[in-house]
Structure 1
Amino acid sequence: MGASGSDRGIVYSLVARGPVVLCDCSLVQGNSALVALSLLEKWQKNPENLASYVSDRHVFHVLTEDGLTYLCVASEDVSKRVAFAFLADVKDGFSRAHAPAARAAVAYELNTAFEPELRQRMTRFNSDPASADILTRIHGDVSELRDVMVDSIDKILDRGERLDVLVERTDGLASQAFAFKREARTAHRTFYWANVRLRVFVAIACLLGLYILVALICSPTFHCH
């Protein structure tokens, strides 16, 4: 993408509200910011929660939540798990400290406040991607990301449209599958213990009924006449 210096790892990242970039950080020179701006404009027409786009030797990874878009540009050797773990980390840090201000901030207004944190996070994930990969596996944010590659970002930017076949539709699949499994396990446990309680109740009721029947025939002390 016309970058100079080391262009491996996560080289650019931003936080935006719609097409308005609130803050960004670049570790290399190049046109990542310009391409990202163009992508943001197209992204607003049909946003996904998670998506990846290929451009030259880099991949644009995008995460959207609560009206904010978190984007990073990474070299192709950076796994999607690491890229989306980075975006989740940025989201957590930004939303905790700047969510209220982000609602009305103008372009790049939060650069002074958050750019150093973006740079620190990029450096951390680039210096130890293996640990970042393990961290996201444990955290479970993006544990089920598919390994489907997407087509060139140029087709989206040139045509001015969003093609579904180019979008990695992982936005709801992982979370929905996890939630379904969790709810299924919870429901199974609930029904299991409800069944156990019902069986115990029926057994006690039968024993009590038998006792009453015997008491009526004989006496409460079981001395039959």
Structure 2
Amino acid sequence: MQFQIFVYHTLSVDGITYLCASDNALDTITPAAFLKNVSESLLRNPLMSQEHFSPSNAAAADFQQVLGKYMMKYNKSQDDSSISTLRSQVTDVKNVMTQNIDKILESEERLNIFTARTDNLQITAEESQKTRTIWRRMWWKHIKKILIIPVAVLLSVIIILLSTNVIPT
């Protein structure tokens, strides 16, 4: 057994409460418009201008025709409203998807920038390591020159002094 689910809509105007039931929970605009039109039609009725309204059979029959006319109008437009509701939902989903795609593209762009910066840092680190290695080699060459030249001069002086017998052997 399957139950029909209804959503109830109300409108209160000048102490009179209007009520209608709808089986479309997503549509709140159509029932509100229906209740507004029904209330305006009832208030335009000359019998309502009397201070104590007590509906006669003639007024009730007349109003039943008005109510039937509005029910037919809004039930017919409900099919169109369902389509427009679906279109609206599709448009909303499309807008959300577009926003998500834009966010993904922005995220990808930031990721590419981050990757490029990381690559640049890696290259800079490698170049810095190479520069340190070259500097160290040059420093050792310089130290060797500083050490070898005085040692060679000292040895040359000693050899000369030994050969001239200035230093006894």
After TM superposition, the score normalised by the length of structure 2 is: 0.39
After TM superposition, the score normalised by the length of structure 1 is: 0.30
Between 1 and 2, higher relative CO (CA 8 Å, sep ≥ 6) is seen in 1
Larger helix fraction of residues: 2
